[in-house]
Amino acid sequence: MAEDLHKMALEAAAHAHAPYSDFPVGAAIRTTDGRTYAGCNVENVSYPEGWCAETSAIAHMVMDGGGKIAEVAVLGLKANLCTPCGGCRQRLAEFGTAETKVHLCNAEGLVETVTLGDLLPNSFDMGEAP
């Protein structure tokens, strides 16, 4: 994992709005053409109306013209290991592949790298969408 993704995710987590869970999360993605985007979680008192860090980063990518995700770094400021939730795994699958690298980090750095296929082995694909 390139250090820039960890740094971007760490900086994004510092901007999280997490007054209810007190669990700030940051994510950073790199597209196959090298562009990078970051996002943080934004909670809302009306659960589950907030959004996750991965969702925020994907939204920035889509607003910039879209793309395919090559790798993503995810970290929780107060966790030793933070994995994407089920909904974010499917959102990442929408713009990635089974081979997309998912770097599971903490505030200090990389803890483990897995593939999106490892995290979501039977994801929906565009051919199955209703």
pTM recorded for the entire structure: 0.92
DSSP designation for 114: E
Interval 11-68: pLDDT, tens = 999 999 999 999 999 999 999 999 999 999 999 998 888 999 999 999 999 999 999 9
Strands (E), 1-130: 25-31, 36-40, 69-76, 101-106, 109-115
Higher-scoring residue by pLDDT: 113, 46: 113
The dihedral formed by the CA atoms of 25, 79, 82 and 7, expressed in degrees to the nearest 10: 60
Q: How far is C-alpha 8 from the chain's CA centre? A: 11
Please confirm, yes or no, whether 108 is among the known catalytic residues. no
From the candidates 49, 54, 94, 128, which is the catalytic residue?
A: 54
CB 54 within 8 A of CB 88: yes
Instruction: For each of the domains in the chain, give its residue range(s) and CATH number, in order of start.
Output: 3-121 (3.40.140.10)
The dihedral formed by the CA atoms of 115, 118, 121 and 126, expressed in degrees to the nearest 10: -10
Place 129 in a pLDDT band, splitting at 50, 70 and 90: very low
At 123 the pLDDT is 77
DSSP designation for 104: E
